[in-house]
Amino acid sequence: MSIRFPQGFVWGAATAAYQIEGAVTEDGRGPSIWDEFCRHPGAVGRGDNGDIACDHYHRWPSDLDLLEELGVGAYRFSVAWSRIFPEGTGRVNPAGLDFYERLVDSLLERGITPMVTLYHWDLPQALQETGGWADRATAEKFADYSARVATRLGDRVESWITLNEPYCSAFVGYVEGRHAPGIVDEATAVQVLHHLLLGHGLATSAIRATGVPGKVGVTLNLTSPHPASSAPEDLAAYRRLDLYENRMFLDPVLGRGYPADAEEFYRGITDFGFVQPGDLDVIAAPMDFLGVNYYERHLVEADPANPRGWRRLPDPNPTISGIGVHPEGLGEVLDRVSEYTDLPLMITETGIALHDYVDPERRIHDQERIDFYDGHVRAAADAIARGVNLVGFFPWSFMDNFEWAWGYGHRFGLYYVDYATQERIPKDSASWYARVTRANGLE
């Protein structure tokens, strides 16, 4: 059955600075927490790091040619804070702004709308050394940096995303310790979360204060959890997990403050003493859209052995990332968010990691990825038919890249990257997606 999307629906593709750029010491870039984290033995698979990554810093013109071939209307990329402010604050590095200006101008020449993420996890290491996001001042420095970028590029950038996935920065970085800065300290994690959200609010207002016309939003990774049964313990476990994965983020940015059950959840861990009067109003700064990254739907049951009280059931059919393929979860997340807000929603990421390989005919037959996207595009279309205000879809990712703690082993791209030669090869999914963008839907 063919499916056509509303006119003006945005088909895009997404990347992030540290995952693709490389050139980590070039043109005055300062180190970030990921440069540092990758150097810790065992932190990243096989000891991989982003020093070279996809060498996009040098190859961006030909990469933009490939984006054009995909037929996308928009490109979501991130600015590396430490290219603009090598020490995070103070001295501006003009070469950093010049790089992103060339990128933006070249996108516009190709008719591709730039969508800029200001923070995709790469805090300048100098700021980590003064406390990182646990320090309230980092939120203000983030707003200054955001305003600086907006002042330079704001006449040409249509949308700004303040933060990418604060869940990962705060909870994967400070509870699990699997991401930079690799700390395991729950009390600090909640404080970090609060300062990230404060940074989002301050940056939103700071960008607007520059007078630029662009839209401003935030990207949250939201999950679709379900209780494994209707037993009261499973329902309670589900509610706690949903608090942790979704409501701690959605509620404050959409003006509801922290959920009432957060106090009980964090009892004995933190009393939220770091929340100052007025902070929640700052965090609730009006937005123009909400970015949703969707990867996970899971069943939750009670687990008395876990102090948090929950257990996510292993997926019966996991991909190499350990998560299942559940397009229906995308619809569930979109419906849920629509109950919170009328803001336009954008799927700023969704995607699947596979062990892609180049066959003897130099083809990459990633039918599983095509099936994945087909299902998710259909789920998006169904959501729109139910009245969800969904305006865009950005596959993760434009090309294979440095996949954080997984290193280069997890390939999410529409384009295959041969890291030894930096050759890019379109996977079958790239050809498939190019047909989707041109048809504005599925034929």
Give contact residues for ligand FCB (rule: CB under 6 A): 16, 19, 164-165, 168, 221, 293, 349, 396, 403-404, 412
| CB of 156 closer than 8 Å to CB of 213 | no
Taking the complex as a whole, how short is the minimal distance between the CB of residue 351 and ligand FCB, in angstroms? Answer: 6
What is the rounded CA–CA span in Å between residue 20 and residue 14? 11
- The residue with tokens 């699990």 is 176
What is the rounded CA–CA span in Å between residue 215 and residue 288? 5
Taking the complex as a whole, how short is the minimal distance between the CB of residue 372 and ligand FCB, in angstroms? Answer: 13
User: Measured from the CB atom, is 279 or 403 closer to ligand FCB?
Assistant: 403
| CB of 189 closer than 8 Å to CB of 272 | no
Instruction: Answer positive or negative: Cα dihedral of 277, 279, 280, 286.
Output: positive
- Which one from 69, 101, 165, 264 is the annotated catalytic residue? 165
Q: Which stretch of DSSP H or E encloses residue 432?
A: helix 428-439
CA angle (290, 296, 302) in 5-degree steps: 115
User: Which residues contribute to the annotated binding site for substrate?
Assistant: 19, 120, 164, 295, 396, 403-404
User: Measured from the CB atom, is 220 or 275 closer to ligand FCB?
Assistant: 220
Question: Is position 69 annotated as part of the catalytic site?
Answer: no
| CB of 183 closer than 8 Å to CB of 43 | no
User: Measured from the CB atom, is 82 or 89 closer to ligand FCB?
Assistant: 82
What is the rounded CA–CA span in Å between residue 298 and residue 175? 20
User: Measured from the CB atom, is 234 or 349 closer to ligand FCB?
Assistant: 349
Taking the complex as a whole, how short is the minimal distance between the CB of residue 168 and ligand FCB, in angstroms? Answer: 6
CA distances (Å), origin 97, targets 92, 104, 262, 334, 412: 9, 10, 40, 35, 28
Taking the complex as a whole, how short is the minimal distance between the CB of residue 211 and ligand FCB, in angstroms? Answer: 30
Instruction: Read off the tokens for 152.
Output: 């330079």
What is the rounded CA–CA span in Å between residue 398 and residue 413? 5
Q: What is the DSSP letter of 330?
A: H
User: Measured from the CB atom, is 100 or 274 closer to ligand FCB?
Assistant: 100
Residue-by-residue DSSP string for 223-243: EEEEESSSSHHHHHHHHHHHI
Contacts with 22 (C-beta within 8 Å, 6 or more apart), sequence order? 50, 51, 52, 53, 54, 55, 56, 57, 58
Question: Is position 165 annotated as part of the catalytic site?
Answer: yes
What is the rounded CA–CA span in Å between residue 383 and residue 377? 10
User: Measured from the CB atom, is 16 or 126 closer to ligand FCB?
Assistant: 16
User: Measured from the CB atom, is 103 or 172 closer to ligand FCB?
Assistant: 172
Taking the complex as a whole, how short is the minimal distance between the CB of residue 369 and ligand FCB, in angstroms? Answer: 13
Taking the complex as a whole, how short is the minimal distance between the CB of residue 271 and ligand FCB, in angstroms? Answer: 30
- Which one from 21, 245, 301, 349 is the annotated catalytic residue? 349
Cβ-defined contacts of 311-314 (< 8 Å, 24+) = 311/237, 312/225, 312/241, 313/228
Instruction: Read off the tokens for 435.
Output: 């047909």
**Amino acid, single-letter form, for residue 274:** F
User: Which residues contribute to the annotated binding site?
Assistant: 19, 120, 164, 295, 396, 403-404
Instruction: Read off the tokens for 198.
Output: 């404060």
**Amino acid, single-letter form, for residue 115:** M
User: Which residues does the annotation mark as catalytic?
Assistant: 165, 349
